[in-house]
Amino acid sequence: MRAAAGPAPAQTAVSPLRKTIAERMTASLRSTAPVTLTTTADASNLVSLRNQFKTAAASGDDVIPGYTDFLVKLAAAALQKHPLLSARWTNAEITPSTSLDIGIAVDTERGLLVPVVRNAPNLSMRQVAASTRDLAERARGGTLQSSEMQGGVFTITNLGAFGVDAFTPIINYPQCAILGVGRIQRRPVASDDRIMICEQVTLSLTFDHRIVDGAPAARFLQTLSQMLENPGPWLMP
């Protein structure tokens, strides 16, 4: 006996924002040559460092950086070593970026928005955390200005809170690359013939193959992973 079918879902009108998101996603896939690389990094030191920020903020009002905040700083540092990942294709030339403004994907009730953290290399971790919190709150509250979503050279999207390990993010065109961040999870790792339990995170880098080839993109991802595994020296402004 077949179960009775549930009520059909109601049709939903396409909002202006949903239409803009659809147009931008389609333009990205139509205008780029996207390739995704994934790697797993040891996030044990990053977890420990965030716990130190938590402890320091326990008796005060300091903003506690989230993992996306740390990745904003680390990605900016890695882009300084691999500037092609922040360049743009203009048919006539590949144009390097003049500043490292990093976009962060924010999930809102109205749809996905990508506000931009300006001049990330020169911000302290607390300044990055305060900036991302302000941008995310105003994005969800509908008070974000369009200018605050323009000019980014690289985007970070984090789905770790939803239990996602790896995915294939779509480039925020006309940028060259986007970094997908998965959940941080304790997993067994073989090291020197021993099994250790470490905090592991999967990074997914989608890049435009017109601008950068696979090996340089892999080197960027390798640099970023190394920075993530030993984050302290790379987080100073």
Average pLDDT over residues 164-193: 94
Question: Domain of 143?
Answer: 30-231
In this predicted structure, the answer to whether residue 73 has a pLDDT above a threshold of 90 is yes
How many CB atoms are located within 10 Å of the residue 93 CB?
A: 9
Mean per-residue pLDDT, 16-20: 90
Indicate whether 160 belongs to any domain.
yes
Average pLDDT, the chain: 93
Domain harbouring 201, CATH code: 3.30.559.10
The tokens for 207 are 């890049």
pLDDT at 23: 92
Tens-place pLDDT, residues 98-130? 999 999 999 999 999 999 999 999 999 999 999
- Give the three-class secondary structure for 187: strand
**Average pLDDT, stretch 41-68?**
89
Tally of domains within the chain: 1
18-54 burial by CB neighbour count: b if 16+ within 10 A, else e?
eeebeeeeeebeeebebbbbbebbbbbebeebbeebe
Buried b (16+ CB within 10 A) or exposed e, 148-167: bbeebbbbbbbbbeeeebbb
Report which of residues 11 and 135 the model is more confident about.
135
In a domain, 125, yes or no: yes
Whether 118 is covered by a domain: the verdict is yes
Tell me the β-bridge partners of 188.
197
Q: Is residue 191 part of a domain?
A: yes
Residue 4 forms part of a structural domain = no
**Residues 129-173 pLDDT 10s:** 999 999 999 999 999 999 999 999 999 999 999 999 999 999 999
7 assigned to some structural domain: no
pLDDT class of 176 with cuts at 50, 70, 90: very high
Residue 98 inside a domain? The answer is yes
* 203-214 pLDDT tens trace: 999 999 999 999
**Percentage with pLDDT > 70 across the chain:** 95
Please report whether residue 206 resides in a domain.
Answer: yes
Q: What is the pLDDT of residue 12?
A: 80
Residues with a catalytic annotation lie at 209, 213
